[in-house]
Copies of this chain bind each other. A is one copy, B any other.
Amino acid sequence: MTQRFPGSNPTRSRAVLHNGIVTTVATSPVKSDSMYEQTQGALAAITGALQAAGSSQAQILTAICYCADMSRKAELNQAWDEWVDRANIPMRAVLGVQLEGRDLIEIIATAAV
């Protein structure tokens, strides 16, 4: 009834699917200095994780973007706007937080399956 999808770390799942809803978290696999590129990377990782769980970008319900440098939110928005499926627009929030290491963005998304 609950499916858990392993990530690179043995004590955290990359995604969890329960009762038709998958929740997943991603940072950018490439730790570029560009907020635009890291946002592209994190969004692509979200899409990949959803597909692995039997969902898809079109089924995303919510996306919360945790941003390590709000002065560069315009770059985040640009990557989002290029990526978003305009027929299936998620609820989105962008919040400025501290992230670890060279991460500029971390995204948590929920999607229907």
Contacts and interface: CB of A to CB of B under 8 A. Distances in A.
A70 B10 CA distance: 21
Given A24-B91, A73-B100, 10 more contacts: A4-B91, A11-B81, A11-B92, A12-B89, A16-B62, A16-B91, A19-B21, A23-B61, A25-B92, A97-B97
Interface of A: 1-2, 4, 6, 10-16, 18-21, 23-25, 59, 61-62, 64, 66, 70, 73, 77, 80-81, 84, 86, 88-100, 106, 108, 110, 112
Each complex incorporates copies of this chain amounting to 3
A93 B95 CA distance: 14
A100 B2 contact: no
A12 B65 CA distance: 12
10 contacts: A2-B112, A11-B80, A12-B89, A16-B61, A16-B90, A23-B62, A24-B91, A70-B98, A95-B97, A95-B106
A15 to B, nearest CB: 6
A2 to B, nearest CB: 6
A11 to B, nearest CB: 5
